[in-house]
Copies of this chain bind each other. A is one copy, B any other.
């Protein structure tokens, strides 16, 4: 049971507050990804200092190492990793589906071999709920199947229908408590009728929130937006909407316009480790020699500690020398950039100027669509 309060609307864009057992989340929100119990190269204090209020953990990775039972013995994922705020966990479904060749899907669930030990594991709706409960996730994701893109409509239909059966079993197995919620996941690929059937099935079951799965899988931004156009606002108005695994800054800005409230993506942290910096005037590759004598910060308008204290020349040096501090400083900056974007988005909705904000952003930051 999760309380979600819609504070304001501006077109289809929504400004809200989600209340969980571990604190409030202002929406629209972006969740940094802490795959195996750590937002890579960041302390939890640093993650919080960027403005992040909720992070994402991965069921698949954590069930293999250190194991959900072990995390539970440590008092849950929050205590284990020293992140006192809300945590959303995925169901493990997306990752086990990606283990092609190593996994076998039946109506019961997915049997697979650990990529670490080779050991055989089983993931089913019931086991996924049990694991996410052991992790003490504030937001549990229903167990679903995500087909590869592109795929035949008949394949997508069959998969979506199985996902709906699995999500019903997820709901039945989920232990409902105050401050803890279960999100259903809409599937159906790029097919409007399948998306609509999926939404009907999910709303009949009833969830605390609704995620949109099967997007950002290679279909391109235009098609993603066109699916969102008919999917997002068909979801219950009084429940949070989460677009999984998205995305680039322009993906987020365009999705909020279409009624989405929550996002997650490895992009800011992964880019930070590989030397890419998000700035208000484009993405910089800090490994490029052009930065070697640059005494400017990454972004003169940015208030993050990296931009307050370090030059592009120094960050370039750290990456060239292979220093861990380079990944630390750039990840911090990138997550701050994303959180700052969310602050701007929330403010624009509050001030009823989201369409203008969107249009100006799309014009100015179109660069990221080439990433």
Contacts and interface: CB of A to CB of B under 8 A. Distances in A.
Interface of A: 36-38, 40-43, 61, 65-66, 70, 73-74, 80-82, 273, 292-293, 295, 305, 309-311, 313-314, 317-318, 320-321, 323-325, 327-329
Contacts of A273: 324
A47 to B, nearest CB: 11
Given A65-B320, A293-B70, A310 B40 contact: no
Given A65-B317, A74-B311, A82-B310, A325 B38 contact: yes
Contact of A314 (B37, B325, B329): B37
Given A74-B295, A324-B324, A317 B66 contact: yes
A318 B35 CA distance: 11
Given A66-B317, A81-B314, A40 B74 contact: no
B314 A74 contact: yes
Given A38-B323, A80-B317, A324-B328, 4 more contacts: A38-B321, A61-B321, A70-B292, A74-B311
A70 B324 contact: no
A102 to B, nearest CB: 19
Contacts of A36: 317, 321, 323
6 contacts: A37-B317, A40-B323, A40-B324, A61-B321, A66-B317, A324-B324
B325 A40 contact: yes
Contacts of A328: 41, 43, 324, 328
Contacts of A321: 36-38, 61, 65
A328 B81 CA distance: 14
Nearest to A82: B309
A318 B42 CA distance: 12
Contacts of A325: 38, 40-43
